[in-house]
Amino acid sequence: MKAFQTIKMVGGALIVLASLNAYAQSSDAAAAPAAAASSAPGTKQAKAANRALGHKVRSALSKTKGLSVANITVRARGGAVTLAGTVPEQSQVDLATQAAQGVPGVTSVKNALTVRSIGQ
């Protein structure tokens, strides 16, 4: 009989400890979504800044004389710009890099352009 009472007491103590632990975690869990929600606007702002920089680089490329921009895509992330696609001549690869580097806000340019003659 004493064993049964001891098991009940230990079980009750474990339940109390578990509930205290759960209570402590619930306050931490409530703070986590608030932190995630506050980082979301920063992510949206970063995406908007990346899109704006990409548009500026595309605009600069389209205004560059002697550069065919029909098959060039621009990706921007945190000031780093990647140029991808094809151009008809090797000289346009260098021209595109120089034009992208001249845009304010661009910190680096990765040129992944390839030369492909028109009609291929």
Which residue numbers in the chain have pLDDT < 50?
Answer: 24-28
Alpha-carbon Rg for the chain in angstroms: 29
pLDDT of residue 18: 65
Q: What residues contact residue 80 under an 8 Å CB cut-off, 6+ apart?
A: 107, 108, 109, 110
In this structure, the strands spanning 80-87 and 108-115 are parallel
CB 74 within 8 A of CB 81: yes
* In the chain, where the domains are located: 2-115
pLDDT of residue 2: 79
Q: What is the three-class DSSP state of 67?
A: coil
Residues of the chain with pLDDT > 90: what percent?
52
What's the CA gap between 72 and 90, in Å, rounded? 14
pLDDT of residue 114: 92
pLDDT of residue 42: 83
What's the CA gap between 55 and 48, in Å, rounded? 11
Distances from the Cα of 25 to the Cα of 19, 33, 72, angstroms = 10, 13, 51
Q: Domain 2-115, CATH 3.30.1340.30 — does that match?
A: yes
pLDDT of residue 26: 46
Q: What is the pLDDT of residues 20-50, one digit of tens each?
A: 665 544 444 555 555 555 556 688 999 999 9
